[in-house]
Amino acid sequence: MIKVYGIPNCETVKKARAWMAQRGHDYVFHDFKKEGVPESRLAHWIAQVGWEKLVNRKGTTWRRLDPALQASLTDAASAHALMVQHASVIKRPVVEWSNGDITVGFAPEEWDARP
Q: Which of 4, 5, 6, 10 is labelled catalytic? A: 10
- Name 4's bridge partners: 29, 95
d(CA 79, CA 112): 30
Task: Name residues whose C-beta falls within 8 Å of residue 52's C-beta, 6 or more positions apart in sequence.
Answer: 79
d(CA 60, CA 113): 31
Catalytic, 100? Answer no
The SS3 of residue 13 is helix
- Name 2's bridge partners: 27
Residue 113 carries which DSSP code?
T
Residue 44 carries which DSSP code?
H
Question: What positions carry a catalytic annotation?
Answer: 10
